[in-house]
Structure 1
Amino acid sequence: MATAEPVSPWPSAKGPFDMRRRSVLTAAGAAALAVPVLGGAPAAAAPATAAPATGAPAAGRRGCLDIRGADISSLPKNEDHGAVYRTADGHRADPIRLIAQAGVTHARLKVWVNPADGYNTKAHILPLARRLKRAGVGVWIDFHYSDSWADPAHQTKPAAWAGLDVAGLARAVYDHTADVLGALKRQGTPAQLVQIGNELNGGLIWPEGNWEHFDNMTAFLKAGLSAARDTTPRVRTILHLANGGDNGLYRWWFDNVVSYGVDFDIIGLSYYPFWHGPIADAAANMADITARYGKPCVIAETAYPFTLESEDGVNDIMNSPSQLTDGFPATPEGQAAWLRTVADLAAGVPDGQGLGYCYWEGLWTYRAGSGWDPTDPSAGNAWENLALFDFGDRALPGLRTLGRYRS
């Protein structure tokens, strides 16, 4: 398809980042997740009608989800700082075994290039992948192409890549991707899923690969995709955006990327109800984009609080009743109900095109020194009330729901 000039769906000439973030985000939370308000997108053409997001499987709905994921990126750092995990009745257990027993099929692991604290790198991912293999859990790699968090408001170029031109950056993307995936394959734990970038609303590796430079952005995406397929031919590749209820964003971004000939396998979405709108919007978006692009989708990130209290004194990202979704209280039961609803949402994508979902950082319980900022050992967590373990380290009911729609 011929390339097209990228046209932003946002009215501001500055594009998707000239927006105020939701006031509910604390400074710590904003830096950890940096989810901006993406408003002003024009109404999309009427999407296909989605199946209801609740209830038993209906016609066209999957009876089994291929991907029942859990992002466990924080686990090595948490364990190094003394974290323990317990069954619901208080018995200490291996957290990898606990998620496997709950029905998790894939563990999502983020990869940073050269973070200040040394975590989320190949050195920690390789032993974690071996643990996952022993438990029968597949590996899902999430490349950020940064030394720290990559998300809609942050896509900071790795410091070691600072002097590279566009061709050099594309080569660095290829080499970094191939290095990590090749090492996983050589030790007998090949990745089954791989994300080329994380929450790519505005591109990656800024400024060269931002949304105003789709030619560069797609060159970087193609480099990562090529490395993934060269090292792990059977891997399924994912391109991932945030704001899973924003159909205008998804059409704008994927129309442009597809016009540059980018070949990928799965559309990934982040869908947090407290940031990304009603369930009906997410259902309609997934129905539309799977039909429009002929690709299945996966909810790559979701979460919900089991309490609005904080364990570590940091003002957690979720801390007010006004942030909650109607019908889902901030209780262990409310968290589990949300996970059942998300599983139903994925299973309800028409024509079986919803592959599944992934709970984000369900093992990130509070431990001093294991906070969100890799440059600051004193940083707090801001997420522990959205974990799948309570403040006494006991598994919550939500953990069991991760196996919903297992075969």
Structure 2
Amino acid sequence: MESAWIKGMDVSFLDEIEQGGGMFHDATESGDALRILRDGGVNSIRLRIWNDPPGTYCNLERTLLMAKRVKALGMQLLLDFHYSDRWADPANQWKPALWTDLQGRELEQAVYDYTYEVLAVLRAGGALPDMVQIGNEITYGMLWPDGRIGAEGDPVAADGQWARLCGLLKAGIGAVRDTDESVRIMLHIDRGGDPEGSLSFFDRMEAEGIDYDVIGLSYYPWWHGPLEQLSRNLDELAARYGRDLIVVETAYPWTFRAKEGFPLIVENDEALPAAYPATPEGQAAYMKAFADVIRRTPAGRGIGFYYWEPCWIPSQREWSVGHANNWSNLTLFDHDGRPLPALYIP
């Protein structure tokens, strides 16, 4: 993964979509969504893993099954440790239930042991990841309250808070290095359009001596601003840290027409660039422009992207995570499971 362009997809919901009856079609044939993605030029898959999630999807057992499928199709694997039983993001970074009473060294040891165990199981199954995220969108830390470094509107985190977060990061990173030195390590924050916030976070990682390989960013234009902001951020990060960069979450709408009974998180074009309408063609044009921004990162440090949940079609209303499908106009398949033109953008 170090030199080749990564055209990746996060399909963490795919297992549940398939079990719920969702189907995908290539031309006139029904088929495996992973195979359709691969034939569309996708060369890497991202899977999130939760410690003990409701409904069991995205746990270790189900992740192993999906990881084996990914490897069998010749694609690479990015494993996204949330270190939680549910969503981890800038507003939610809660400990797994089994770790509720753990603190300090005991919590660090739990992170190490769990990370090592997961990777050992995947390696034994012939599905060792090529890259691993230590936490998901850890802009304000992880494993709250122990590893919390602030939140929107909070004062600057104290040194002690940073030390606790970095102890947890080092535990997870140590487990990856002890498993296999070839597995690359990513740190992921959500600040794709925020150069100042990104530099502040990664400056602290440098100061604390965190051993990682790749910077990961989330970038959604309706939340993170225009492509020009992403470009500036990538340029400044590449110049300062000399590490590879991946936009590890992104998406763009192809319609504002919802299937009856399914809400939409992006309902109109108020926060979207006018040059790219919410049509299949507009989505494809946007994805080309977006990919070109990453490719223009100095010194070839922009090495690819992962599209978030391109397969989350409106096939079912009830989900194990208790989360409505509000993503059905941000997929790379239409409501009937047929691929959209944006899938084929290199």
Q: TM-score range by the shorter chain?
A: over 0.9
Matches within 5 A, 1:298-313: 298-313=246-261
| Residues 1:293 and 2:241 are matched in the alignment | yes
| Partner residue in 2 for 1:384 | 328
| Match 2:264 to one of 282, 300, 316 | 316
Question: 1:369: how far off?
Answer: 4.7
Q: Which residue of 1 aligns with 2:121?
A: 183
Structure 1 residue 157, shift from structure 2 partner: 1.1
Alpha-carbon distance between aligned partners in 2 of 1:336 and 1:147, rounded to the nearest angstrom: 35
Identity %: 40
Matching residue of 2:154: none
Say whether the 8 Å CA contact 2:262–2:314 is kept in structure 1: no
Is the CA contact (8 Å cut-off) linking 1:243 and 1:275 kept in structure 2?
no
The answer to whether the 8 Å contact 2:313/2:336 transfers is no
Task: Judge conservation of contact 2:140–2:148 (CA < 8 Å) in 1.
Answer: yes
Q: Residue 256 of structure 2 aligns to which amino acid in structure 1?
A: L
Answering whether residue 80 of structure 2 is matched by residue 142 of structure 1, we say yes
Aligned-residue offset at 1:111: 0.6
Question: Which fold has the larger relative contact order, with Cα–Cα distance below 8 Å and residues 6 or more apart in sequence?
Answer: 1
- Quick check: 1:368–1:380 contact (8 Å CA) kept in 2? no
2:83 matches 1:83: no
Cα distance in 2 for partners of 1:312, 1:66 equals 38
Could you say which residue in structure 2 is the equivalent of 1:48?
Answer: none
Give the 5 Å matches for 1:71-150. 71-87=10-26, 89-150=27-88
Q: Secondary structure at the match of 1:99?
A: helix
1:394 aligned residue = 338
Question: For each residue in 1:295-346, what CA deviation from the matched residue of structure 2 results, as whole angstroms up to 9, or x when unmatched?
Answer: 1101101100111122252321011121322211111111111211121111
Match of residue 204 from structure 1:
142
User: Is the CA contact (8 Å cut-off) linking 1:72 and 1:361 kept in structure 2?
Assistant: yes
SS in 2 for 1:181: helix
Residue of structure 1 in register with 2:166 after alignment: 218
Note the aligned Cα RMSD (angstroms): 1.3
Larger strand fraction of residues: 2
Give the aligned partner of residue 206 of structure 2. 258
1:66 deviates by 2.4
Contact 2:263 2:325 in 1 (8 A): no
Partner of 2:153: none
Cα distance in 2 for residues equivalent to 1:310 and 1:342: 25
Alignment match, 1:355: 303
Confirm or deny: 8 A CA contact 1:90 1:394 kept in the other structure. no
Structure 2 unmatched runs, 5+: 150-156
Asked whether the equivalents of residues 196 and 225 of structure 1 are also in contact (C-alpha less than 8 Å), the reply is yes
Q: Hey, what does 1:17 align to over in structure 2?
A: none
Alpha-carbon offset, residue 380 of structure 1: 2.2
Partner of 1:288, secondary structure, is: helix
Q: Which amino acid aligns with 2:198?
A: Y
Please say if residues 199 and 242 of structure 1, whose CA atoms lie closer than 8 Å, have aligned partners that are also in contact.
yes
1:75, 1:86 → 2: CA distance?
A: 14
Shift of 1:176: 1.4
Secondary structure of 1:195 counterpart: strand
Change (3 A) 1:217 1:391: same
Q: Cα gap change, 1:370/1:397 in structure 2, threshold over 3 Å: closer, same or farther?
A: farther
Residue range with higher mean Cα deviation, 296-305 or 360-369: 360-369
- C-alpha change, 1:114 and 1:257, in structure 2 (3 Å) is same
Find 2:293's aligned residue among 338, 342, 345.
345
Secondary structure of the structure 2 residue equivalent to 1:237: strand
Instruction: Give me the whole-angstrom Cα distance separating, in 1, the residues matched to 2:223 and 2:4.
Output: 25
State the 1:65 CA deviation: 4.8
**Hey, what's the Cα distance between the residues in 2 that align with 1:313 and 1:235?**
42
Aligned pair in 2 of structure 1 residues 256, 312: CA closer, same or farther (>3 Å)?
farther
Give the partner amino acid of 2:171: A
1:161 to 99, 110, 118: 99
Aligned residues: 334
The separation in 1 between residues aligned to 2:86 and 2:97, in whole angstroms, is 10
Distance, in Å, in 2 between the alignment partners of 1:134 and 1:79 is: 18
Query: Residue 293 of structure 1: CA displacement?
Result: 1.3
Q: 2 CA distance for matches of 1:312 and 1:257?
A: 46
Is the CA contact (8 Å cut-off) linking 1:243 and 1:271 kept in structure 2?
yes
2-structure distance, mates of 1:226, 1:204? 17
